[in-house]
Amino acid sequence: MKWLARLFPTEQRTTETSTQDLHRAAAALLMEVARTDGKVDEQEERLLVQAVKRHWQLDQTEMDDIVAELRERVEAATDLFEFTLPLRERWDPETRVRLIYDMWAIAAADGKADVHEEQLIRRVSDLLYVSHGDYIRGKLAALGEQ
Protein backbone atom coordinates (compact mmCIF):
# COMPACT_ATOMS: atom_id res chain seq x y z
CA MET A 1 0.00 0.00 0.00
CA LYS A 2 1.33 3.43 -0.89
CA TRP A 3 2.17 5.66 2.06
CA LEU A 4 0.29 8.67 0.67
CA ALA A 5 -2.87 6.60 0.35
CA ARG A 6 -2.63 5.85 4.08
CA LEU A 7 -2.71 9.57 4.86
CA PHE A 8 -6.21 9.77 3.42
CA PRO A 9 -8.00 6.45 3.82
CA THR A 10 -11.06 5.91 1.65
CA GLU A 11 -14.40 4.90 3.08
CA GLN A 12 -13.58 1.25 2.39
CA ARG A 13 -10.19 1.51 4.10
CA THR A 14 -9.79 2.44 7.73
CA THR A 15 -6.01 2.19 7.89
CA GLU A 16 -4.48 4.36 10.58
CA THR A 17 -1.98 6.99 9.55
CA SER A 18 1.26 5.78 11.07
CA THR A 19 3.96 7.95 12.56
CA GLN A 20 6.19 6.85 9.70
CA ASP A 21 3.58 8.08 7.18
CA LEU A 22 3.59 11.48 8.87
CA HIS A 23 7.37 11.59 8.69
CA ARG A 24 7.18 10.78 5.00
CA ALA A 25 4.66 13.60 4.46
CA ALA A 26 7.04 16.03 6.19
CA ALA A 27 9.94 14.78 4.08
CA ALA A 28 7.79 15.31 0.99
CA LEU A 29 7.24 18.95 1.97
CA LEU A 30 10.97 19.41 2.48
CA MET A 31 11.62 17.94 -0.95
CA GLU A 32 9.03 20.24 -2.47
CA VAL A 33 10.96 23.25 -1.12
CA ALA A 34 14.20 21.87 -2.54
CA ARG A 35 12.73 21.56 -6.03
CA THR A 36 10.65 24.76 -6.05
CA ASP A 37 13.32 26.94 -7.64
CA GLY A 38 13.71 24.47 -10.51
CA LYS A 39 16.87 22.75 -9.34
CA VAL A 40 17.95 20.73 -6.34
CA ASP A 41 21.58 21.53 -5.58
CA GLU A 42 23.87 19.37 -3.47
CA GLN A 43 23.60 21.60 -0.39
CA GLU A 44 19.78 21.48 -0.46
CA GLU A 45 19.81 17.72 -0.85
CA ARG A 46 22.34 17.32 1.96
CA LEU A 47 20.27 19.48 4.33
CA LEU A 48 17.12 17.60 3.42
CA VAL A 49 18.69 14.23 4.16
CA GLN A 50 20.16 15.56 7.43
CA ALA A 51 16.79 16.93 8.56
CA VAL A 52 15.03 13.69 7.72
CA LYS A 53 17.63 11.57 9.50
CA ARG A 54 17.76 13.88 12.52
CA HIS A 55 14.02 14.22 13.08
CA TRP A 56 12.33 11.27 11.46
CA GLN A 57 14.90 8.49 10.99
CA LEU A 58 13.89 7.57 7.43
CA ASP A 59 16.46 5.41 5.71
CA GLN A 60 17.68 5.77 2.12
CA THR A 61 15.27 3.13 0.80
CA GLU A 62 12.32 5.04 2.24
CA MET A 63 13.68 8.30 0.81
CA ASP A 64 13.96 6.65 -2.61
CA ASP A 65 10.35 5.44 -2.28
CA ILE A 66 9.19 8.94 -1.37
CA VAL A 67 11.02 10.51 -4.31
CA ALA A 68 9.61 7.96 -6.76
CA GLU A 69 6.04 8.37 -5.55
CA LEU A 70 6.31 12.14 -5.33
CA ARG A 71 7.31 12.40 -8.96
CA GLU A 72 3.88 11.01 -9.79
CA ARG A 73 1.86 12.52 -6.95
CA VAL A 74 3.20 16.10 -6.83
CA GLU A 75 2.40 16.65 -10.49
CA ALA A 76 -1.20 15.58 -9.85
CA ALA A 77 -1.63 17.38 -6.53
CA THR A 78 -3.71 20.52 -6.66
CA ASP A 79 -2.49 21.85 -3.33
CA LEU A 80 -0.42 21.07 -0.25
CA PHE A 81 -3.44 20.29 1.91
CA GLU A 82 -3.05 16.55 1.47
CA PHE A 83 0.41 16.68 3.05
CA THR A 84 -0.29 19.27 5.73
CA LEU A 85 -3.67 18.18 7.11
CA PRO A 86 -2.42 14.96 8.78
CA LEU A 87 0.59 16.83 10.18
CA ARG A 88 -1.57 19.62 11.56
CA GLU A 89 -3.97 17.15 13.13
CA ARG A 90 -1.36 14.85 14.68
CA TRP A 91 1.71 17.00 15.43
CA ASP A 92 2.10 19.45 18.29
CA PRO A 93 2.84 23.13 17.49
CA GLU A 94 6.55 22.80 18.31
CA THR A 95 7.05 19.98 15.81
CA ARG A 96 5.20 21.92 13.10
CA VAL A 97 7.39 24.99 13.76
CA ARG A 98 10.51 22.81 13.54
CA LEU A 99 9.37 21.64 10.09
CA ILE A 100 9.03 25.27 8.95
CA TYR A 101 12.56 26.00 10.21
CA ASP A 102 13.86 22.99 8.28
CA MET A 103 12.04 24.16 5.16
CA TRP A 104 13.70 27.56 5.50
CA ALA A 105 17.13 25.94 5.94
CA ILE A 106 16.66 24.09 2.65
CA ALA A 107 15.38 27.20 0.88
CA ALA A 108 18.39 29.20 2.08
CA ALA A 109 20.96 26.49 1.34
CA ASP A 110 22.18 28.42 -1.71
CA GLY A 111 22.53 31.64 0.33
CA LYS A 112 19.18 33.16 -0.60
CA ALA A 113 15.52 32.25 -0.56
CA ASP A 114 13.81 32.32 -3.94
CA VAL A 115 10.44 34.10 -4.01
CA HIS A 116 8.72 30.83 -4.96
CA GLU A 117 10.34 29.06 -2.02
CA GLU A 118 9.10 31.83 0.28
CA GLN A 119 5.57 31.50 -1.10
CA LEU A 120 5.60 27.73 -0.64
CA ILE A 121 6.83 27.96 2.95
CA ARG A 122 4.26 30.67 3.70
CA ARG A 123 1.45 28.44 2.37
CA VAL A 124 2.67 25.43 4.34
CA SER A 125 3.06 27.59 7.43
CA ASP A 126 -0.53 28.79 7.12
CA LEU A 127 -1.84 25.27 6.52
CA LEU A 128 0.03 24.00 9.59
CA TYR A 129 -1.24 26.90 11.73
CA VAL A 130 2.30 28.11 12.37
CA SER A 131 2.31 31.75 13.48
CA HIS A 132 3.67 34.47 11.25
CA GLY A 133 6.23 35.25 13.97
CA ASP A 134 7.59 31.69 13.86
CA TYR A 135 7.61 31.83 10.05
CA ILE A 136 9.71 35.03 10.15
CA ARG A 137 12.02 33.69 12.89
CA GLY A 138 12.67 30.61 10.76
CA LYS A 139 13.47 32.77 7.74
CA LEU A 140 15.83 35.04 9.69
CA ALA A 141 17.60 32.08 11.28
CA ALA A 142 18.07 30.35 7.94
CA LEU A 143 19.38 33.48 6.24
CA GLY A 144 21.68 34.33 9.17
CA GLU A 145 19.85 37.59 9.91
CA GLN A 146 19.01 36.94 13.57
Confirm whether 101 is domain-assigned.
yes
Question: Domain range spanning residue 92?
Answer: 19-142
Q: Which of 92, 93, 114 is nearest to 103 (CA)?
A: 114
pTM for the model stands at: 0.77
Q: Kindly report the CATH number assigned to the domain that includes residue 98.
A: 1.10.3680.10
* pLDDT tens for each residue of the chain, 146 residues long: 455 565 555 444 334 678 878 887 888 888 888 878 777 777 777 787 777 777 777 777 877 777 666 656 555 655 788 889 999 999 999 999 999 999 999 998 878 888 999 999 999 999 999 999 999 999 999 988 75
| Dihedral over alpha carbons 26, 70, 17, 84 (to 10 degrees) | 50
Identify how many contiguous H helices and E strands the chain contains and give both numbers: 8, 0
Confirm whether 9 is domain-assigned.
no
Confirm whether 135 is domain-assigned.
yes
Confirm whether 137 is domain-assigned.
yes
| Number of domains within the chain | 1
How far is the C-alpha of 60 from the C-alpha of 73, rounded, in Å?
Answer: 19
Confirm whether 13 is domain-assigned.
no
Confirm whether 2 is domain-assigned.
no
Confirm whether 1 is domain-assigned.
no
